[in-house]
Amino acid sequence: MNQHVNAIANRLSLRTPQRDSLEILARVCEIIDLDKDADLSQQLETIKSEFSTVEDFERDFPSLCFALATGVGKTRLMGAFIAYLHRAEKVRHFFVLAPNLTIYQKLIADFTPGNPKYVFQGIHEFATRPPQIITSDNYESGVGVRSGGVDSRGQGLLFDDAPIHVNIFNISKINSEVRGGKSPRIKRLNEYIGDSYFDYLAGLDDLVLLMDESHRYRASAGVKAINELKPILGLELTATPQVEKGSKTEKFKNAIYSYPLASALTDGYVKQPAVATRENFKVESYDEDGLEKLKLEDGVRVHEETKVQLEVYSRENGVKRVKPFMLVVARDTEHANALVKTIESDDFFDGAYKGKCITVHSKTKGEEKDEVVEQLLTVEDPKNPVEIVVHVNMLKEGWDVTNLYTIVPLRKADSRTLVEQSIGRGLRLPYGQRTGNGAVDRLTIVAHDKFQDIVDEANRGDSILVTGVVIGKDIPEKKSKVVEVVPKVVQVITGQTGTGSDNTKQKPLFTDEREVKVATTTLDIIKNEFERLPRSSDLKDPENQKKLIQRVKEEIKVPQAQLEGMEDQLKDEEVAEVVKKATETYVEMSIDIPRIVIVPTGERKCGYRDFDLDTKNINQKPVANDILIQTLRENHQYRLVSLASATEERLEDYLIRGLIDYDDISYDDDAKLLYKLCGQLIDKLKTYLSSEDDIRNVLLAFNQTYVRLIHAQMQDHFFEEATDYEVHISKGFETLRPSAFNAPEDETPRPFRQPVDEKKNIRSMLFGEFDKCLFPVQKFDSDTERRFAVILENDQAVSKWVKPNKGTFQIHYTGESNYEPDFVAETDEAFFLCEPKAEPEVEDEVVQAKARAAAEWCAHASSVSSKPWRYLLIPHTAVDESQTLGGLAAQYEVVGESKFQPATE
C-alpha cells in the first residue's frame, strides 16, 4: 500500500471509488515521467500496458479521465489528487478548470479554508500554510507569480509562503475572443509578470491541469486553449465520459477509471430513484392538459408527504431539518411561465404555493435573473420560501443540492432519456449517507404516462431505477401533518401540549405563570445536569433536592435592573415547594431506562444455512456459439465462442468461479453448500437438455444470470450471531423526549380500545385516551400492538408503560444494526421489554438475534436497577385481552446468559 495514498485517504475520509482513483493516480506516477519533454507516444503505450481502457490521451499531453457518478464526490477527489501530487511528486502548481460560472464559484468556495466542504481538511501540509488560490478576479495583481531566488531544486521561489498555487478559472476566461478580435485578458501582457499570465503558466515545468466536468471541454476551441497550457499531466473528472455529436454518442478514449451510477446506487452513496404513478391509472382517460394537471398535483402530493417524513425524521433523530423542493421540467419558456402562473394561482391547492415557485430559463435576464440565481443557490435554506422550481434545461452541472426529492417531467422524451436527464441534480444525500428511511433516501419521478415504460426499463437489469411508487397506496392522496407529542409529565408540570391532542386526564399541576416558569426550569435542569444520577428517585434525596433548588434559583433569578414595576417574585420557600412537587411528579410519571450499550463482540459466527435451490424458472435453451453476450449492469461484452475453450472438469465449477467472487462467500467455509446448490441447478438442466455440450453451452451463455440467482437465494439463508457481548454501563437514566409522528391532515386521536376495521391503515392512525401510557397519543405499527396496549392498560399490576422513542436503547444485535423494543412496561416487581411479533416471524434469525441481545441487555440492566428487567418475545396469537403481562412473561420470557462483568464508565 502506498503510504501517501493511505495517509491522504484516511485524512480526507475518502470513499472506496475515490480511494481507488487515488491509487490509480499513484500507479500512473510510478510508471510514467511527469515531464514536459517526455515522449507522449511512449507515455501512452506505458499507460495502455496496465490500463486497457485507455486508448488515447485525446490531448497534446497525458490526460486521463476518472468517471465518477454524480454525488460520489469529484471535488473532494480533486483535493486528494492535489495533495498526493504535492506530497509524493513535489508538484506545486495546479490549474483547476471550471465549465461555467456556477461551478467556478463553487470550486473557489470548496478550496477556501473554513468552508464546510473544504477539500484539504485534515491535510497537515496545508494546515498552517494554506494553498494560494488564484482566480480570474485576482490574478492580475501578480499574486500567483514567483518572486526572485531559487530553492534547493533550482525552482523559483513562490511569491508568498504558500506550499502550492491553485489556479481556478472558468473555461471562458481562456478560450473566448473578445470584441475587436483581441485575446482574452489572461493572454495579454501583464506589467507584474513581464508576460501574459497564460504564457507564464504555460512556461511552468510542473503545472498539472484538473478539469471538472471534462465532457464540456471537447469542443475545438476548448481543446486548443487547454493544449496551449502545456501541463505535465491532465486529470479529468466527469459523471458522463462521452460527448453527443448529432445523433451519435462518442465515448472518451482516455477513461482510466469508471464508477457508474449503478455502482453508486448499490453502494449507497446516492438516493434511490423511484418512479411514481396513480393507483389504477389509465392514460386514455386524460387529454394532454388534464394529464399535465394531474402530474403536477400528484407531484405536490409526493412533495408534501416527503416534507412531513423529513420533519419527522429530523425530530426523531435530533438532526438538522431538510427542506425538500420539487423540480418541474417544462417544454419551453412559454410553457414554464404558464406553469408558474398555474402553481401560484388561488385554484392550485388553495393558493398554498403563491410566492413559493420560481422559473429558470434562458430568457431570464438582469436583476430578475440575479434574484432567481440567488434563490436557487440558497434553496436548501429553510428561510428560503421556494418549494417548486420550474426549469427549461437550465440546471446544468454545478448546482449541487441535496434537498431535491420530487421531479415532474413535462417535456416529452423516451423513458430512458427521461430518467437519465431528470435525476442528475437530485441524487445527493442530505445526510451524506443513506439513513435506512425510505422517504429520506428516495428521489421520486412523477411520470404517470411513462410509468410502465420506465418500470420495464428498470427491469432490464442495467437501469438505475429500483422501485415504483403508487400515489394512493404508497403516497397518501390527502395531505399529511407532523404531530409532536410531549410526554404527559411535561403536560402536567408545564402545560405544554405539543401539536397532538391533549388527552391528559390530570389537571395541570401549576397555573400561576411564575410557578410554571420554575417547573419548566426544573425539568430542563434535571435533563441537562441530573441525568447522571443512578435513578430518577434519587432526585428526591435531600442533598440532591438542595442542589436542584439552588440551580433553579440561579436560572430564574431576575436582574436588579428589571425588578422595578414588576409583580412580586416567588419567595425562596415557594420556589422550593414548586421544585419538590415537580420532582415528585417527574419521578412518578417516568420509567428509568439505564444507559447501557451492548455490542456483539468476540468471534462472530456467520454463514449460510443449508437449503434447496428453487429452480422452477430454469428453462434456458442452448444458443449459437457466435452470439454476442453483454452483461446488463457492467456492460461487459464477450462472444460465446471465445469462452468455449475455457472448459471446466466439473460442470459445477462454471458457477462456483462466479460465486466465490462475492465478498460474503467463503469457499473454504461454504464449499459444501455451493456445490450442492450448483449441482441442483445442473440437475434441473439435465431434465430437459440431452447432452453435456448443451449443458456447458447454457452454463456459459447464462452464467451471470445463474450466479446471481444462486447468490440471491443464499441471502435468504444468511445468519450472523455473536458468541459474546461487550457491555458498557454509564451512570444515569434516560428522560422522556417528545415524539414526532406523521399522520393524515384530518386525523385525530381515536380511542385505543375501539376495534380497527381497516387494519392495513393502522400505521396512519393516532390513538389516545390512555391512563397508564406516559404519552397522551401513540401510533401503532399493527393491530397486535394496539391490543397489547389494551392488555397493559387492563393489567392492575402494570403501573405505567411507553413505546420508547428512537435512540432510547443501544442494543446492537449484529454489526451496526440497532434494536428498539416495541414496549417498555413497569410493575411493582419488574421492568419489561416487550416485543409482540407475528408468529411466523418469531423463529426468524434476525428476530432471534435481537431477542438474544435484548435479553443480555436486561441481564445487565437488572444489576444497576431497583428491580429486575425482563425481555418478552410474544407471538401475535397470544395477544388476547384476557391475558396479563405476568401470564405472558411466564410463557414467553427470553433469558440472557451474560458471561461478563459489565464495564462501568
* The three grid cell numbers given for residue 675, joined into one nine-digit string: 456445490
Residue type, 565: G
Q: Which strand (E) or helix (H) includes residue 405?
A: strand 404-409
In angstroms, the CA 514 to CA 534 distance is: 30
Q: Do 72 and 248 meet the contact criterion of CB atoms below 8 Å apart?
A: no
* The three grid cell numbers given for residue 357, joined into one nine-digit string: 415557485
- For residue 417, the 8-state DSSP code is H
Q: Do 198 and 176 meet the contact criterion of CB atoms below 8 Å apart?
A: no
> 893 has which bridge partners?
872
* C-alpha to C-alpha distances, 703 to 656, 680, 695, 741, nearest whole angstrom: 10, 15, 11, 47
Q: Do 613 and 677 meet the contact criterion of CB atoms below 8 Å apart?
A: yes
- At 488, give phi and psi (nearest 5°): -55, -35
Q: Do 856 and 840 meet the contact criterion of CB atoms below 8 Å apart?
A: no
* C-alpha to C-alpha distances, 482 to 307, 382, 720, 742, nearest whole angstrom: 9, 16, 37, 5
Show the low-confidence residues of the chain (pLDDT under 50): 148-159, 177-180, 394, 414-415, 417-418, 458, 461-462, 504, 559-566, 625-645, 898-905
Q: Look at residues 658, 651, 716, 713 and name the one whose alpha carbon lies nearest to residue 686.
A: 651
> 443 has which bridge partners?
273
In angstroms, the CA 698 to CA 708 distance is: 15
- At 21, give phi and psi (nearest 5°): -65, -40
State the pLDDT at residue 101: 77
* C-alpha to C-alpha distances, 227 to 83, 155, 174, 212, 220, nearest whole angstrom: 24, 23, 11, 16, 11
Q: Under the phi-then-psi rule, with left for phi > 0, alpha for psi from -120 to 50, and beta for the rest, what region is 524?
A: alpha
Q: Look at residues 332, 351, 467, 489 and name the one whose alpha carbon lies nearest to residue 412.
A: 332
- 837 by DSSP, 3-state: which? strand
- 402 by DSSP, 3-state: which? coil
Q: Which strand (E) or helix (H) includes residue 870?
A: strand 869-875
CA dihedral 472, 476, 479, 484 (to 10 degrees): 170
* The three grid cell numbers given for residue 126, joined into one nine-digit string: 496545508
Cα–Cα–Cα angle for 869, 870, 871, rounded to 5 degrees: 130
In angstroms, the CA 423 to CA 454 distance is: 13
In angstroms, the CA 886 to CA 106 distance is: 63
161-179 exposure pattern, b = at least 16 Cβ within 10 A, e = fewer: ebbbbbbbbbbbbbbeeee
* The three grid cell numbers given for residue 790, joined into one nine-digit string: 389494551
Residue 829, Cβ neighbours under 10 Å: how many? Answer: 12
Q: Look at residues 422, 307, 293 and name the one whose alpha carbon lies nearest to residue 356.
A: 307
Q: Look at residues 731, 736, 806 and name the one whose alpha carbon lies nearest to residue 591.
A: 736
State the pLDDT at residue 486: 83
Strands 903-904 and 442-446: unpaired
pTM of the model: 0.62
* The three grid cell numbers given for residue 23, joined into one nine-digit string: 491509487
* The three grid cell numbers given for residue 7, joined into one nine-digit string: 495517509
Cα dihedral 806, 807, 809, 813 sign: positive
Residue type, 538: D
Cα dihedral 720, 724, 729, 733 sign: positive
Residue type, 721: E
Q: Do 518 and 552 meet the contact criterion of CB atoms below 8 Å apart?
A: yes
Q: Do 503 and 749 meet the contact criterion of CB atoms below 8 Å apart?
A: yes
* C-alpha to C-alpha distances, 728 to 528, 739, 852, nearest whole angstrom: 21, 26, 17
In angstroms, the CA 386 to CA 379 distance is: 7
Q: Do 262 and 423 meet the contact criterion of CB atoms below 8 Å apart?
A: no
